Amino acid sequence: NQKKRVWDSFVTHAASDLAVGIMGLGVMGRDSAERLRDLGFKVAGWSRSRKHIDGVHCYAGEAEFDSFLRRTDVLVSLLPATAETDGIINRETIRKLSRKGPFGAPVVINAGRGRQQVAEDILAALDASELHAATLDVFVVEPLPQDSPLWTHPRVTITPHCAADSD
């Protein structure tokens, strides 16, 4: 609206309207889950091994991965880089995410490792409206090459691997 010089409000959603799913419940994932929970989001987490966080539904292992995805409107990846997590944010994973949230399609946020996302799958899912938006902080090649289509996609937000820079 600002670019068009249009004075018009836009739809906002209460935190309680969104189911956030955090992949990776280490130090950053746990802290993020607790803070989002305290803000009123419906928060769940998934990790390889079972974790317990008050007020956060914790899923574990491959057997519970699809259940975790089905309840998730906003997928946040804070996973470590391992052979098992390489390429985990792919078209198959995106297609398993919830379509019941207020955006009608899920959102992906990757602040974990670039190896976890398949950029071509994210772009294809955005173009097919299987994904509402993506915010990406990490990439396989950094800095992100100037010719990457991620830079210009209207529903992609790029940050320069700075998500963990905080006090």
154: pLDDT strictly greater than 90 = yes
The predicted-structure confidence for 14-53, as pLDDT tens digits, reads as follows: 999 999 999 999 999 999 999 999 999 999 999 999 999 9
| pLDDT confidence band for 2 (50 / 70 / 90) | confident
State the catalytic residue, choosing from 57, 99, 155, 161.
161
57: pLDDT strictly greater than 70 = yes
3: pLDDT strictly greater than 90 = no
- Distance between CA 45 and CA 91 in Å, rounded? 20
Task: Determine the pLDDT at residue 86.
Answer: 97
161 is catalytic: yes
- 35: Cβ contacts below 8 Å, ≥ 6 apart: none
Q: Classify the phi-psi angles of 134: left when phi > 0, otherwise alpha if psi is within -120 to 50, otherwise beta.
A: beta
State the catalytic residue, choosing from 30, 37, 113, 115.
113
- Distance between CA 7 and CA 51 in Å, rounded? 46
Percentage with pLDDT > 70 across the chain: 99
- Distance between CA 143 and CA 139 in Å, rounded? 8
CA-nearest of 108, 116, 39 to 74 is 108
The predicted-structure confidence for 71-81, as pLDDT tens digits, reads as follows: 999 999 999 99
pTM of full prediction above 0.85: yes
CA-nearest of 37, 34, 64, 28 to 49 is 64
